[in-house]
A and B are shown apart, each in its own frame.
Chain A
């Protein structure tokens, strides 16, 4: 005798409930999928076709399958591509070095002032991105405190030495603008670590430094990965910091795209450069995440 043979036929109401239940996930997904289709898939497709067009604003653009826009990316704009990646790497690496101790201090040493320190970290975000970057023009100005201090210390050459309109200023601006996005995920990861785990490590003959390397650091890796991605990706596409703090030698891909779209109005080139930058960033992110923390992200 098998169990199924005896099971009574399901009532029609049960069937209907079952069908409705199976529909629910699709209904929940529908708005999001629709959004992605209209505002992501279709524009990406358009961007792709635009990059293969030819023409000018006056004569109009026509699809010709022309790949010249693509080849120009690598023949003409390699320095800008290098700058973008250099700044993105630099801002991410130095930002991590600044943000990790900051997040660590907030998570473990601020006690009941934790909320205050977290809000101090977030308050600058209430000021628009552009204004924050403009403020750095004042901070790094030739007559400013920082420049004169560095000149006095002999780190910058007297009189001629400056920070504004240099690559260092761009780097400083990028680090500053994305610091909160680097710090917060690391803070969240550190804050979740049970103090008992560090006691256990100490109990098992790990001195504080070893306990940090073997327990705290690995457990904070999900935060480090999120933080570095939240810095690297927007920094690679940034153009405001170079515009306001840098000079022409340090022009990034973002600046090229901006001028191609808005100033020169060469849509095919702008589209090709955008897609190239996107592809490079995505490739790097995938390699990075796979190497550093597949498991942490999957948890």
Chain B
């Protein structure tokens, strides 16, 4: 995956290529001059809050919406203006959209039959696909006789059986309960690796995106704010929006003094060398789980230390979440793994500290 201009000359064209694509509904630009390349065999996730344009983007790739301006290419071929049934992509819809009057077998066979595949081949390929999603035993049933998770897998099989060059997934796990969703995330990733085709997955669930995707694009107000590997954009979100949408963040402001940021209360915080601009005001952040909590009378274990008072403690099993009021940076969230029995009650004075490398810059 890369920005358009980074593509090596003469290389394979990307699986999906959007060039300055805009979609307007009246005065409102749902997608605003968006350019994007998605490489072959990628598991690509588009995330963002509702109304950010992610679903519209996906629907334009699928052919369900026509872009107001711009070009869409699939493997180098311009498909702008082509109807959905003329594009080599298939979609897994949010509500599955299974045909209620057809059996599971016929639902999966639908695309093959439309393409005129011989019926012996249809039977074989549908059989194989139902096996892949472990639903061979329900082939003769109707969709309404299946559970939500099973229907989801039928929707996936119905799309994949056509060997699309790109599979589009529109919040496919949104209707499932948490446990099933976790299982399906792993299942989807397994299937993607097994069939080896490009998946473009739209979701508002950042955890789901990070679990499955090779590359994540974070969308906000019709454009991409940040794109990269999950670890890369989690550790260096670059904008306040990405910092708080992708995971939780403690954001604070201060003045740059050399390679140190001086916070409001006078506390000095270090960042990764070279990460800070030369001078001026800057907004920085640190993830809650990167902060170490100690009693106030101990020596800080990490170079960046702030003093504070615990205002809220909530034990959630795998970890304990604290809110700590500091003079320099307001209220900070801290997540502590429950490795020892030491816990801080509200009102306790504590010391917060973290590695300079965990301080990220989100803008001036």
Residues of A within 8 A of B (CB): 194, 196-197, 199-207, 210, 214-215, 218-219
Contact = CB atoms under 8 A, between A and B. Distances in A.
Interface in B99-113: 99-101, 110-111
Interface string B64-85: 1000000000000000000111
B93 interface: yes
Nearest to A200: B97
A295 B62 CA distance: 34
B95 A194 contact: yes
B93 A201 contact: no
Contact of B90 (A194, A204, A218): A204
Contacts of B100: 197, 219
Contact of A203 (B85, B98, B101): B85
Contacts of A194: 95, 97
B85 A207 contact: yes
A215 B114 CA distance: 13
Nearest to B90: A203
A196 B110 CA distance: 15
B158 interface: yes
B101 A218 contact: yes
Given A204-B114, A205-B115, A210-B114, A199 B99 contact: no
Contact of B83 (A200, A207, A218, A219): A207
Give 3 closest A-B pairs by Cβ, nearest first. Answer: A204-B111, A205-B114, A200-B97
B353 interface: no
A201 B62 CA distance: 12
Given A203-B91, A204-B110, A197 B83 contact: no
Given A204-B111, A205-B114, A199 B85 contact: no
A294 B100 CA distance: 16
A219 B97 contact: no
B174 to A, nearest CB: 13
Assign chain B's interface to a size class: 20 to 34
A215 B115 CA distance: 16
A199 B101 contact: no
| A contact face: mostly helix, strand, loop, or mixed | helix
Nearest to B59: A199
B99 A200 contact: yes
Contacts of A197: 97, 99-100
Given A203-B84, A204-B90, A196 B95 contact: yes
Contacts of A200: 91, 93, 97-99
A199 B93 CA distance: 9
Given A202-B85, A205-B85, A196 B114 contact: no
A206 B97 contact: no
B95 A206 contact: no
Given A204-B90, A205-B111, A196 B85 contact: no
Contacts of A207: 83, 85
Contacts of A204: 85, 90, 110-111, 114, 158-159, 162
Nearest to A193: B100
A233 to B, nearest CB: 26
B93 A215 contact: no
Given A219-B100, A219-B101, A199 B95 contact: no
Contacts of B91: 199-200, 203
A197 B95 CA distance: 10
B74 to A, nearest CB: 14
Given A196-B93, A210-B114, A202 B84 contact: yes
A48 B89 CA distance: 66
Interface string B106-128: 00001100110000000000000
Given A200-B91, A202-B83, A204-B114, 19 more contacts: A194-B95, A196-B93, A196-B95, A197-B100, A199-B84, A199-B91, A200-B97, A200-B99, A201-B110, A203-B64, A203-B85, A203-B89, A204-B111, A204-B158, A204-B162, A207-B85, A210-B114, A219-B100, A219-B101
